[in-house]
Amino acid sequence: MDIGVEVSWSERKSREYPRHMDEGLTFAVFGMRSTAKALGGQETDWELLQGKTVLDLACGSRRVPRLDRSRSRGGFPPYYCLLCAKAGADVWGVDIFDCDPKDEGIYHHITADIIQAVLSETQLSGIPGIAGLKFDVIHSLRFADDNFPPDVIDQLKMMHLRSDDLLEKIQQQSKELLKPGGVFVTMHKVFKI
């Protein structure tokens, strides 16, 4: 089953698809491969996502303002969400930035500040749009491993928090959102419930 994202060379050179786009797509494909393996298949068995419910934390948005790239890795389109949806999953993506109209209807986009939710009484499970839901797969390459970008590290320092503290809270709260047998996929780890 071919579920690749087709992007022409002219689109890659346009303002809409900035130069760093290929890195974002690389991360998404890496996430898809990790997810397929976590679900018991080979790296290319993306059809295993058919009918699954997926939550992507810090999914990305095409609507991210052009930030200082030296301080943030922000700005990737929600490739993982789009690939999962194309594979037949029912996908929710949470990001601090709004959904681009191009992506509306492809996946459920929820605009929320993940760090604030995790550190408050709201927690991940209380974010409007995912409250009361359980997922087969939770994925995050940005917020759920030792892969925090510089802008998040700076935010944590201002709050006098260590990245390890936030990581532990995200992992614990994510486990509460997983269905029995669900998987939590990060850059370097897979947790199963």
Residue 1 resides in a domain: no
> What is the residue-level pLDDT of the chain in tens, covering all 193 positions?
333 333 333 333 444 444 445 677 888 888 899 999 999 999 889 999 999 999 999 898 876 655 544 444 456 789 999 999 999 999 999 998 888 888 889 999 999 999 889 999 889 999 999 999 999 999 987 776 666 777 778 888 888 888 888 888 888 899 899 999 999 998 777 878 7
Residue 106 belongs to domain with CATH number: 3.40.50
Task: Report the C-alpha gap between 123 and 135 in whole angstroms.
Answer: 16
The whole-number pLDDT of residue 168 equals 86
- For the beta carbon of residue 177, count every other beta carbon within 10 angstroms: 23
Domain total for the chain?
Answer: 1
Residue 141 resides in a domain: yes
pTM of the predicted protein model? 0.82
Strand partners, 104: 107
Query: Residue 109 belongs to what domain range?
Result: 9-192
Instruction: Kindly write down the DSSP assignment for every residue of 166-178, as one continuous string.
Output: HHHHHHHHHHHHE
Residue 76 resides in a domain: yes
Residue 112 resides in a domain: yes
Residue 2 resides in a domain: no
